[in-house]
Amino acid sequence: MEIDFISKSDSIDVESMSNSSGVILKEGNATRDSGKEQGHLNLVMYVAYTITFMSSLFGNSVIIYIIRTDNSLKTTTNYLVMNQACVDIFITLSEPVNFLYHSFTGSLWLRGVIGLITCKVYMTSVYSLPDFSVWILAVIAVDRFYAVVLPLRQSPVSQHLKKIMFILWLWSLAWSVPIVIGENFIKVGQSYYCDLYRLVNKWTILNDIHLAVGVLLPFLVIVCLYTAVCYKLWSRKVPGEGANQIEAQRIAKRVTVMMIAVVVLYAFCWFTLFTFFFLNSHHYLQLNGILLFLVMWLPSLFSGLNPYVYLTFSQNFRKACKKILSNCRFPPQDIRKCQVELNMSSLILLTHLILLASLFGNSVLIHIIRADDSLKTTINYLILNQACADLWFTLIGCIGITLQTDQLGYIWFRGNFATITCRSFLSILVIPSLFTSWILVAIAVERFYAVTQPLRRSPLSQHLRKTLVFMWIWSLAGSTNVLVNGMLFKAEPNYYCTVSDKWIIPRSISAIVNVFIPVIIMAVLYTIVCRTLWSREIPGEGTNQNQGQNSATKIARRVSIMMIVIVVLYIVCCFPYDVNLALTSLGFVEVKSNADRFLIMIAITYSSINPYIYLTFNQKFRHAFKKKNNTSTMKATHYHVTPLIYFVYVFTFVLSLVGNSVIIHIIRKDRTMRTTTNWLILSQACVDLYLTMINLLHVFVPFYDFKTLTHLWIGGVFGQITCKSYLASVVISPVFTGWILVPIAVERFYAVIRPFKSSPISQHLKKTIMSVYTWSVACSVNVMVNGVVVEIDKYHYCGLPSGLTRIDIILSTFNISVILLIIMVLYTVVCHKLWSRGVPIEGINQNQRHVESNKKTAKKVTSMMITVVVLYILCWFPLGVLLILNYHGIVHISLNVYFFVTWLTVAFSGTNPYVYFAFAQTFRQAFKRKFDNFYRKCKIDSVLHCSNVRSERVDLESIERRN
């Protein structure tokens, strides 16, 4: 089997996507033997990649753990080795993905935003990781050169290790930018592909430069430096050499030999691949399948063998590894500690996976029943309410598993609302489980009437809303006991939320009424239903039975089987937890916290599996899901919302969420930061967070017309209320963001121009913020009044049917003009005062250093706020100008321009907090203090956990001795 490279980079077909490394199989004389050969080759490569992956994962993990935990090994060279081990793990993850992508999936990729993001990440890893790996070897060579050739001079690598690592990562990532921004996520027919090799073949000059600068240059540096090191070590003796010098020289030789072995291994494994790509770029090479896969496998082989080279040559690494292996076996309490931590981490990971499964499945189920008129039956409405309860129960259950402690209950917070939120949380834990059990009873009653009495209308169909309201009220009443007996107590250093022990009899009665009685009712009803369907004829069925009756019988049996499976799953998953609660309340058993967490996880597993059972058994649900999926794909194509827009908005949202949350936390918790200016900055950070979320909703909700802000919405009274609130939020947030900069400018004006006079903003801070918010709400009244929900083609849309009015344009022009005018005047006066002459309080008898320090701080704060204002103008001014020009018909806004100028406003909220971090040292120091306190607390909790484990072991040993 021969393989040729694609010579025309612009030709894309499905065949070119289905073969690895940008190659296509020569067809014509293909036989069954070639197919078998390819299958055997794939099997061999699966085994090879699995072996190298496991070898790399174990070896590099051991190297990383040894260097991080052993203080004697925390040297500059070892830190570089640790970074190389991290990169090797990533390489062994990316290379098998590359092979599986081409051989197993037929080069098909995911679609949508997830496909775009994963494709870009995949491209980045393929290009950046090899560059980082070879440059890290060059840096290690520099450090060895200074250690041997210039031992009396400190290595620049040791002085600036973090900076060098940061520069190397930036350098490696910079080479992947042309690949990432290229058109590599493509669509062919109905399939999506992440096409790396089309770009490789297209950019031959870029490949040559990358090979020369990113590979050959560092390798040439390595060769020159190790040549000088070897000459120094093996050619002559160090001046003043003694016994200690001989030992030091022997260690230096051993370390140098070890690093040279690593470099040789790298050259053998990676240079073969680089040579292959170079010849491929110039179309000089043809390889058969075995050689091709072997070349692609060599980089994984390097990552798998590299850590064992260090373990072979370095005695310190071998001793540390032996110590780790011995600790994993002895003493027994260490095993117990490892098992507890591993089990807890695995449990939390499984819980979050269950949450994602439940969120997707139940959301799809709710959307299908609400949107498809043919599925709006009594049973399906009951299933919809069950899906809502399942979503609720899964979310609260995951929070409970995360917050639950070993003995004391759920870890909580303190404050005025702590007790209220504690009792509400405990009540919310109970409500969805009670509702789920009774909703299954209602479905069983509906099936009973549909099968045994088909000519009679079910009472549930007649009073469906009343039945649902009654069940919700009943579930809420069943949780009142927990609501009343919930308590909050303090056990140093934390607060805990739990339930009082004085509820044994009420909890037992509640378990019998809400768990066992529903199961008995369902068992009786489904027994009658099954007997009717399978043992005798359905009423009205006779010998002249027609095809419609046969079809109805099959459907009734299928629906009954589906519901019986649901009930059995409910008994298997939820019964253990309910029985455990009842027996624990009565004092018959005592279950440990880990077992209790496991029972909760099994209970919420029911909520995640439940929707997929409906999709499996019910053909109508599957057809509706497929129809909605196709409709959403067509709608996305109609509105021309590209995945890149989603990716950019989500990335900016994450930046805003992290930065503004940190700003808010620092100002609220650090008393030294509670100044007037910082309180105004905190208000701005809150609005920036809100603004980012509103714009994210603005992009992700499908729209009908972006010029009138018409988005897909929900109908009814609730839809009207949420529509008007959404449109008001679109106006309130930017107005507040702009006007909050004015009080900050006034505050800076008084701090610099009139330092002895108290600022009116400081005297009336709350009133100022409330006034800005009131004005922002007033500006949104016109939009709120004109915003309505309209129905177009059976879909509801929220928007402004008449578009922006003259009042909106006047208010927008007024706000932008007045804000910029006030800010520019105030900061002009402040800058003239600071940079032209001394501060007014400066005099001959004053401490000149103190005056200069205050003046420098004032300049820095003023520069920071001017930067924020300039950023605000750059990000918000284009949108305001375009809206005004579009209203007067001077320009017409295209979709891409609209999304770009809208993203600029989100970019302001995302970059704003980092401006404060860049300019204000107080913010950086406060963040560092909070991070250090968090790290110290984590260490204390870890020590306390270890002491608890040891104390439990001592208790167990004492009991065994007594027996």
The string of pLDDT tens digits covering residues 152-164 is 888 888 888 888 8
pLDDT higher than threshold 90 for residue 1: no
Residue 155's nearest CA partner among 240, 225, 65 is: 225
Give the range among 95-99, 296-300, 693-697, 858-862 with minimum mean pLDDT.
Answer: 95-99
pLDDT higher than threshold 50 for residue 336: no
What is the DSSP annotation of 513-525? IIIIHHHHHHHHH
pLDDT higher than threshold 80 for residue 471: yes
Identify the DSSP state of 486. Answer: E
What is the DSSP annotation of 6-52? -S-TT---HHHHTSGGGEEEPPSS--HHHHHHHHHHHHHHHHHHHHH
In one-letter notation, the amino acid at residue 806 is: R
The answer to whether 221 touches 157, Cβ cutoff 8 Å, is: no
The tokens for 713 are: 């919405």
The tokens for 868 are: 């924020």
Task: List, for residues 838-896, the tens digit of each pLDDT value.
Answer: 544 444 444 566 667 777 888 888 888 888 888 988 888 888 888 888 878 777 777 77
Position 775 confidence tier, pLDDT thresholds 50, 70, 90: very high
Task: List, for residues 737-749, the tens digit of each pLDDT value.
Answer: 899 999 999 998 9
Q: Rounded to whole angstroms, what are the CA distances from 469 to 234, 359, 475, 621, 930?
A: 88, 24, 10, 26, 47
Task: List, for residues 750-771, the tens digit of each pLDDT value.
Answer: 988 888 888 888 888 889 999 9
Tokens 């199961």, residue located: 519
Average pLDDT, the chain: 75
Position 709 confidence tier, pLDDT thresholds 50, 70, 90: low
φ, ψ for residue 284, nearest 5 deg = -105, -5
Q: What is the pLDDT of residue 104?
A: 57
804 against 815, higher pLDDT: 815
The CATH homologous superfamily for domain 344-411+433-453+502-534+555-617 is Rhodopsin 7-helix transmembrane proteins (1.20.1070.10)
pLDDT higher than threshold 80 for residue 571: yes
Whether a cis peptide bond, with omega within 30° of 0, leads into 331 is: yes
The tokens for 654 are: 């994450």
Q: Rounded to whole angstroms, what are the CA distances from 409 to 396, 406, 499, 809, 814?
A: 15, 7, 8, 56, 56
Give the range among 651-655, 796-800, 941-945 with minimum mean pLDDT.
Answer: 941-945
Long-range contacts from 36-45, C-beta under 8 angstroms, 24+ separation: 37/1, 37/289, 38/1, 38/289, 41/289, 41/290, 41/293, 42/103, 42/104, 45/99, 45/103, 45/293, 45/297
Task: List, for residues 675-684, the tens digit of each pLDDT value.
Answer: 888 899 999 9
The answer to whether 23 touches 6, Cβ cutoff 8 Å, is: yes
In one-letter notation, the amino acid at residue 572 is: V
Q: What is the pLDDT of residue 14?
A: 34
The answer to whether 211 touches 274, Cβ cutoff 8 Å, is: yes
Give the range among 70-79, 498-507, 644-653, 695-704 with minimum mean pLDDT.
Answer: 498-507
Identify the DSSP state of 214. Answer: I
Q: Which residues of 318-338 are buried (b: 16+ CB within 10 A; e: fewer)?
A: eebbeeeeeeeeeeeeeeebe
Interior angle at CA 808, CA 805 and CA 810, nearest 5: 110
Residue 783's nearest CA partner among 713, 731, 718 is: 731
Out of 347-351, 400-404, 729-733, give the one with best mean pLDDT.
729-733
The answer to whether 515 touches 508, Cβ cutoff 8 Å, is: no
Q: Rounded to whole angstroms, what are the CA distances from 609 to 355, 448, 535, 599?
A: 11, 24, 31, 16
Residue 17's nearest CA partner among 191, 206, 273 is: 191
The tokens for 596 are: 């209790």
Give the range among 60-69, 89-98, 345-354 with minimum mean pLDDT.
Answer: 345-354
Q: What is the pLDDT of residue 790?
A: 84
Q: What is the pLDDT of residue 101?
A: 65
* Choices 1.10.20.10, 1.20.1070.10, 1.20.120.10, 3.40.50.920: CATH for 32-236+244-324: 1.20.1070.10
Out of 297-306, 736-745, 893-902, 935-944, give the one with best mean pLDDT.
736-745
402 against 267, higher pLDDT: 267
Task: List, for residues 593-639, the tens digit of each pLDDT value.
Answer: 566 677 777 888 888 888 888 888 877 887 777 765 554 444 433 44
The answer to whether 44 touches 292, Cβ cutoff 8 Å, is: no
- Say which CATH topology domain 661-836+852-919 has: Rhopdopsin 7-helix transmembrane proteins (1.20.1070)
The answer to whether 833 touches 752, Cβ cutoff 8 Å, is: yes
Neighbour count for residue 962 (Cβ, 10 Å): 6
pLDDT > 90 in the chain, percent: 2
Separation CA 705–CA 694 (nearest Å): 17
The answer to whether 347 touches 604, Cβ cutoff 8 Å, is: no
Q: What is the pLDDT of residue 337?
A: 44
Q: Which residues of 125-157 are buried (b: 16+ CB within 10 A; e: fewer)?
A: bbbbbbbbbbbbbbbbbbbbbbbbeeeeeebeb
Average of per-residue pLDDT across 796-804? 81
Identify the DSSP state of 538. Answer: P
pLDDT > 70 in the chain, percent: 74
